[in-house]
Amino acid sequence: MLGSLHSATEKNRIVPDIEWNKTTWTRNVPHAFKSFDIDNYGDHWGKVEETPHLINFRDRFLLPFVSPEVRALEIGSGGGRWTEYLRVCNSLVCVDVNEVMLDLVRERFAEQDNLDFVLTEGTDLPGVADSSIDLIFSHDVFVHVDPLEVFDYLAEIRRVITDKGTVVIHYADQDKVGAQKNKGFARNNPRLMRALIEHSGFEIVDEDSNIFNHSSVARFEPR
Ligand SMILES: C[S@@+](CC[C@H](N)C(=O)[O-])C[C@H]1O[C@@H](n2cnc3c(N)ncnc32)[C@H](O)[C@@H]1O
């Protein structure tokens, strides 16, 4: 299974470990605001409401699961592109590995009183109680998290999700040229991701490998 993961331009590859994720995104914030005409960090990757494939993803993997009763948690909230949709939930925990990102979301949604903010070390969800979250969502984050770290994160996700909860994770798919060409993409693919998810006590209830040209999506629930 791992053999095919080595087909990418291996000598140029970097490992997007936690340190890389801390420095890369923190540096990218001032760069993005200087280089692009954006109101919110993340819009330079596509405003959700104006980008057809993001609309498809949102309408299938996010909107059906948000509601005022749901206690939600977003991993890697960044500048809040998806927080915008998740904030209608009863409560929302915004998790990020970079404090600068949590500050962006705090500022953007300052009027909300249902948001909590958690700074992760990279695979943990400190202060989030066991079985306290109904929906966990993450987009454009696990594409940069390598499989062993994904496995550690899944254990934490299993700890905090309720028995009837649902989890949506968008992850790197090295079966696709788009991932192979991107040096910062993790060495993951749907076969490996399925194995990690199933070994962590979940069953996959929906999957997609068509929406994105460098990544795939899994929705899964506790077994
Ligand atoms: C490419 S940005 C995407 C932000 C947002 N999800 C979006 O789609 O606009 C990646 C975000 O994930 C965060 N991040 C990277 N590794 C992380 C980790 N291990 N746990 C939580 N957040 C992480 C980064 O700090 C950054 O905010």
The number of distinct structural domains making up the chain is 1
3-class DSSP assignment, residue 128: coil
pLDDT tens, 28-78? 999 999 999 999 999 999 999 999 999 999 999 999 999 999 999 999 999
Instruction: With a cut of 80, say whether residue 1 has pLDDT above it.
Output: no
The answer to whether 140 touches 83, Cβ cutoff 8 Å, is no
Question: Which DSSP helix (H) or strand (E) runs through 32?
Answer: helix 18-35
Predicted model pTM: 0.95
pLDDT of residue 2: 44
Range of the domain at 116: 2-222
| Best residue among 53, 87, 97, 160 to mutate for probing ligand 1, ranked by most atoms within 8 Å of CB | 97
Q: At 194, which CATH number?
A: 3.40.50.150
The answer to whether 80 touches 42, Cβ cutoff 8 Å, is yes
Q: 101 CB less than 6 Å from ligand 1?
A: yes
Q: 174 CB less than 6 Å from ligand 1?
A: no
Percent of the chain with pLDDT over 70: 94
